[in-house]
Amino acid sequence: MERFRPNLVVGGDVTPFAEDGWTRLRIGHVELRFAEHCDRCVLTTTEPGTGRRGPEPIRTLAVHRKREGKTWFGVRMVPVTTGHVAVGDQVVVG
């Protein structure tokens, strides 16, 4: 997961790639809105602990998630309200 450098990770009973359809998200009392889908750069092919590079995970993601010459995974969300989020906050998809 650290290869993707996420700011937020939503867990629980969530289907794979569910974020593709999210337009709004509330985490605790903070509301976010969808900004854009996230294309993944070559940095994800570098192992953070060693600096070693290889074709994964882009190669595997590209099998299912490639369009317009890019490999897509995750979304970018922007805050609508301010506040703090914390591990364990309730997440509501809207």
Task: Render pLDDT for 24-50 as a digit per residue (tens, 0 to 9).
Answer: 999 999 999 999 999 999 999 999 999
Q: Give the torsion through C-alpha atoms of 92, 11, 20, 38, to 10 deg.
A: 120
DSSP state of 44: G
Does the structure show a pLDDT above 90 at 94? Answer: no
Does the structure show a pLDDT above 90 at 8? Answer: yes
Distances (CA, A) of 43 to 4, 12, 22, 39: 8, 27, 25, 12
